[in-house]
Amino acid sequence: MMHAALSVWVLSALICLGRGDHHEGHADGGLDLVTSGNKDFAFQLYRKLAAQADTQGKNIFYSPNSVSVALAALSLGARGDTHQQLFSGLGYNSTQVTQTDVNQAFGELIKRQDQSPDVSEGTAVFLDNTFQPKPEFMKVLKESFYTDGFNVDFKQKSKESADTINKYVNDKTHGKIKKLVEKVDPSTIMYLISYIYFKGMWASPFEPKYTKEDNFTVDENTKVPVLMMNNEDYFDIYHDLAVNTTILRLPFNSSYSMLLMLPENMAELEKEICPQHVAKWSKWMNSRKYDVFVPKFSIKTSYNLNNVLADMGMTHMFDDRADLSGIAEGAKLAVSEVVHQATLDVDEAGATAAAATGIGITLMSLQYVPVLKFDRPFMVLITENTTDNILFMGKILNPNM
């Protein structure tokens, strides 16, 4: 039997394990269990992306938060083994977390983040005119995932439908992702989109006049020129001897921060890093004066996550075993592809994941100040300060790529 095409596009202009139990959620602890699963998923997804042959030697940047939102929204319509695989892959324990818990948790997380002036987050669903999803599916999507709904004509007006999706994506990511969809398969009946846009201003900006050209060591044989920003100020820094890595926290003028991790051995850090490390670093960081150098850069990444998610155990949704009967009655649906795009811009004023402008002046000091220079590959996280929720994560191998 031919499947109708259900496409899930995960955006960021820049997220995890259970079964399909659709009963009352846990009033206490559900949010904590979901956010804990999201953090585990973020690092599991990172390791899968880092291991992919087509990403080796390239920068990695993505929004685990956005991927989690999209897959959690999809889990609303999944049943049986398909639902269990989605929950398991997302890091939710089926004996502790229900679908209702997930719905309530994401409703709270999206609402909380969308109240920040730095973050814009949400979902959208584009439905073919001939397709009628279950009212309950659409109701929960809108209540828990704040989903915008649109009707299009994929079969007869595929180009116009693609243009509609692209305009929505472009608007929501403030022009950072201009053309997500090149063309639409006429058999498509639904597109489910998750987006997140982050724009933060440094609490202590870099003075543009101190930005100078410098070298960035990509590997032992390759150096590339970069514009290196410089700021001498008090910074929160921690050196983790267990993974031989120095961690710098650059706070934004909000409840978010960027963590930059400079390891002696990148492979060792990638192998060991987990949510517990982030919690430890946040707890034990000390503020002291440093002369900090960070490259100014702009990167874009694009991933097809089909194989990655399948490798994480989420296989059924892509083939004949897919059970997405919670979306619609009598329609045999399968996911055609899950695509993720992300961008990161870092400059003197701040960071835009999916641009920021502003200027601050730092007084120079004549006393000895230790230097911390990000002139070789490093990892990056953008997190919420109180929860350590990971909005974005990546590895910068070459700021010029």
Residue 368 has pLDDT above 70, yes or no: no
Predicted confidence (pLDDT) per residue in 155-169, tens digit: 888 889 889 988 998
Q: Which residues are CB-neighbours of 198 under 8 A, at least 6 positions away?
A: 13, 14, 118, 119, 256, 351, 352, 353, 354, 382, 391, 392
Residue 194 has pLDDT above 80, yes or no: yes
Average pLDDT in the 168-176 region?
Answer: 88
Average pLDDT in the 285-303 region?
Answer: 91
Query: pLDDT band at residue 182, thresholds of 50, 70 and 90?
Result: confident
- Phi, psi at 300, each rounded to 5°: -135, 140
- What pLDDT was estimated at residue 54? 66
List 338's β-bridge partners, or say none: 8
Average pLDDT in the 270-276 region?
Answer: 91
Residue 193 has pLDDT above 70, yes or no: yes
Distance CA 240, CA 52 (A): 27
Distance CA 123, CA 74 (A): 11
- What pLDDT was estimated at residue 128? 87
Predicted confidence (pLDDT) per residue in 234-250, tens digit: 999 999 999 999 999 99
pTM value is: 0.86
Predicted confidence (pLDDT) per residue in 339-352, tens digit: 888 889 999 898 77
From the list 75, 81, 79, the residue with the least C-alpha distance to 123 is: 75
Average pLDDT in the 199-212 region?
Answer: 92
Query: pLDDT band at residue 308, thresholds of 50, 70 and 90?
Result: very high
CATH 3.30.497.10 fits 4-200+300-343, yes or no: yes
Instruction: Indicate the domain borders of the chain.
Output: 4-200+300-343, 202-294+358-396
CA distances from 368 to 206, 290, 291 (A): 20, 9, 9
Q: Which residues are CB-neighbours of 136 under 8 A, at least 6 positions away?
A: none
Query: pLDDT band at residue 191, thresholds of 50, 70 and 90?
Result: confident
Query: pLDDT band at residue 29, thresholds of 50, 70 and 90?
Result: low
Average pLDDT in the 318-326 region?
Answer: 88
- Phi, psi at 357, each rounded to 5°: -130, 155
Calculate what percentage of the chain has a pLDDT beyond 90.
Answer: 50
Query: pLDDT band at residue 289, thresholds of 50, 70 and 90?
Result: very high
* Greater pLDDT, 148 or 154: 148
Burial of 163 (0-12, 13-18, 19+ CB in 10 A): middle
CATH code linked to domain 202-294+358-396: 2.30.39.10
Predicted confidence (pLDDT) per residue in 80-133, tens digit: 999 999 999 999 987 888 999 999 999 998 888 777 888 888 889 888 898 889
- Two tokens, residue 35: 């956010």
Query: pLDDT band at residue 276, thresholds of 50, 70 and 90?
Result: very high
Collapse the DSSP code of 16 into the 3-class scheme (helix H, G, I; strand E, B; otherwise coil) and give the result.
coil
Burial of 94 (0-12, 13-18, 19+ CB in 10 A): middle
Q: Which residues are CB-neighbours of 163 under 8 A, at least 6 positions away?
A: none
Mean pLDDT for the chain? 83
Average pLDDT in the 276-292 region?
Answer: 91
CA distances from 212 to 14, 57, 208, 295 (A): 26, 26, 9, 10
* Greater pLDDT, 229 or 196: 229
Residue 11 has pLDDT above 70, yes or no: no
Average pLDDT in the 27-31 region?
Answer: 63
List 122's β-bridge partners, or say none: 195
CA dihedral 283, 285, 287, 289 (to 10 degrees): -170
